[in-house]
Amino acid sequence: MDPSSPTLQHLKAAFLSMEPTDCIISLARDTGGGRITEEIQCFILEHCIKYVDNKGSVQNNIYITSLLKKIIVELESSCDDVLEGLYELYACCMTSLKGVGSSRTFRTISYFFPDGSKNLVVPLQCSLNMLEGDTGCFIWPSSLFMSEFILSYPELFLNKFCFEVGSGVGLVGIALAFSKCYRVVLSDGGLSSLANMKCNLELNQLCTEDEALGGTLQHANKVECRFLPWESTSETELQGYQPDIVLGADVIYDPLCVPHLVRVLANLLKREGTKPNMGEEKKSLEASSHCHDSDEYEATDDNGNSKECLHGSSNRISHDGGSRYSRYSNPSKSERYSNLHATSCHQPESSCFATSSCESVRDEARKAPVAYIAQVIRKEETFDYFLKTAEEARLVVIDVTGKWKPMNLLPYMRSYDRSSISLYEVSYAQNGLN
């Protein structure tokens, strides 16, 4: 088998990104025509496992051990031959693991562009479990979506000043640097997340603001990292940035932090002569002691017992033909959240990456400032509260999920459910709401 074939490269990419072992088994079966053949076993051993041998952390070794066990059990249960090398490596892993080690691991995210002309490989130090360590060191699904969005429509970001809130591991910032932005600022409210983010920028040969220019990348990309706690950063500092585009991925999660997030977005998007209608600044900060930063906040799923937003709201998340959008009971307000597909790219998907022939992309690139928020809505009450608070701050929120569909640049990532993620465009109503 040709190791450079797309199917085998996808299998390797899935392994390097540490996809769940069931997904690896499924890909291996598909590649082998329904079976994990000896050729596939050999590829996994020689081109996947040995590729990262002695390069990973304890957590990487635990993952490899788990995968080897899964493959061996799968083969033995189907009475297929198991390569002796798999048995030997599994025994070696079992004896070397002591069961104690760091919760951090290394994952590699590989982006496959449809024309095959180039791929982007992004190594990241992160946490395997969002409940171990802090949420800022976990790769959230929306950050994968946002990175695909950026790489699918690079002309939107070309020569733009882009500012990300809640940057976490820095994946979105790395995609922005690849898209040749004029300036990239990544921010996070957790000091450990910020330190981890800087490590990831170095892993990807990107200079940070306190390093000399002339890095290994052709364009000597420089990415700035900023400590930015939402609840305490001053309006003066926020308004001093004046970015063209603000980005955020999975940043709407805790209702206690929603007012602070909205305040940050409003001040980043507003321009001189306008003022966010947020009341006295101290009023917006009154719950600051309750807003956990990314190092402390324990994420919860739909069955969790996190604190609920008690603010009443008529906003609801509606579903219409698979498109999620915001709808108010007041028709005049509803108009502001409709017409989601007024401008869409009608070029074939393969040509959208070039974007030079896509008029809507060029038109959108001229708009500034604007924010793009990629979000999995886990609790509708929290998102409704965000919409209500955003409106009070003169922010206009539009669902553009159908308008800006990213290319599938992660075809091997079977655990990544793109359909669960929505993309929202947020702008500041400089002259009042219409």
Asked if pLDDT for residue 307 goes beyond 50, the answer is no
Of residues 278 and 77, more confidence is placed in 77
CATH ID of 106-428, from 3.30.70.260, 3.40.50.150, 3.30.9.10, 3.65.10.10: 3.40.50.150
pLDDT-based confidence at 185, cuts 50/70/90?
very high
Q: Find out whether 371 and 427 touch, Cβ atoms under 8 Å.
A: yes
- Residue from 119, 110, 177, 178 nearest 144 by CA: 110
Express each pLDDT in 110-130 by its tens digit. Answer: 999 988 767 899 999 887 654
Predicted pLDDT at 118 = 73
Asked if pLDDT for residue 278 goes beyond 90, the answer is no
Q: Find out whether 42 and 89 touch, Cβ atoms under 8 Å.
A: no
Residue 186: strand pairing partners: 164, 225
Report the pLDDT averaged over residues 415-428. Answer: 96
Residue given tokens 């690849």 in the structure block? 178
For residues 247 and 411, give the distance between their C-alpha atoms in angstroms, rounded to a whole number: 24
Express each pLDDT in 161-175 by its tens digit. Answer: 999 999 999 999 999
Pairing of strands 119-127, 222-227: unpaired
pLDDT-based confidence at 273, cuts 50/70/90?
low
Report the pLDDT averaged over residues 272-287. Answer: 49
Helix axes 84-96, 58-77, angle to 10 degrees: 140
Report the pLDDT averaged over residues 345-374. Answer: 59
Of residues 208 and 75, more confidence is placed in 75
Cis amide leading into 369 (omega within 30)? yes
**Residue 278 neighbours by CB under 8 Å, 6+ apart:** 262, 263, 266, 284, 392, 393
Residue 274, phi then psi, degrees to nearest 5: -125, 155
For residues 335 and 434, give the distance between their C-alpha atoms in angstroms, rounded to a whole number: 10
For residues 19 and 417, give the distance between their C-alpha atoms in angstroms, rounded to a whole number: 13
pLDDT-based confidence at 280, cuts 50/70/90?
very low
Express each pLDDT in 207-236 by its tens digit. Answer: 765 443 333 333 445 789 999 999 999 999
Torsion, CA 7, CA 10, CA 16, CA 22, rounded to 10: -80
Report the pLDDT averaged over residues 141-160. Answer: 96
CA distance readout (Å), 139 to 62, 122, 144: 19, 12, 8
- For residue 198 the two structure tokens come to 């800087």
Of residues 199 and 342, more confidence is placed in 199
Predicted pLDDT at 272 = 76
Q: How many CA atoms lie within 13 A of 79 on its CB side?
A: 0
Predicted pLDDT at 259 = 98
Task: Return the minimum-mean-pLDDT range out of 88-92, 127-131, 196-200, 304-308.
Answer: 304-308
Cβ neighbours of 327 (radius 10 Å): 18
Predicted pLDDT at 358 = 57
For residues 387 and 396, give the distance between their C-alpha atoms in angstroms, rounded to a whole number: 9
For residues 230 and 24, give the distance between their C-alpha atoms in angstroms, rounded to a whole number: 39
Q: Find out whether 46 and 12 touch, Cβ atoms under 8 Å.
A: no
Question: One-letter amino acid identity for 82?
Answer: V
- For residue 311 the two structure tokens come to 């603010």
Share of the chain above pLDDT 90, in %: 54
Express each pLDDT in 86-109 by its tens digit. Answer: 999 888 888 775 554 555 688 999
Predicted pLDDT at 227 = 95
- At 327 the three-state DSSP class reads strand
For residues 381 and 297, give the distance between their C-alpha atoms in angstroms, rounded to a whole number: 18
Residue 123: strand pairing partners: 108
pLDDT-based confidence at 365, cuts 50/70/90?
low
Of residues 219 and 194, more confidence is placed in 194
- Residue from 330, 327, 350 nearest 340 by CA: 327
Predicted pLDDT at 431 = 65
Report the pLDDT averaged over residues 17-36. Answer: 94
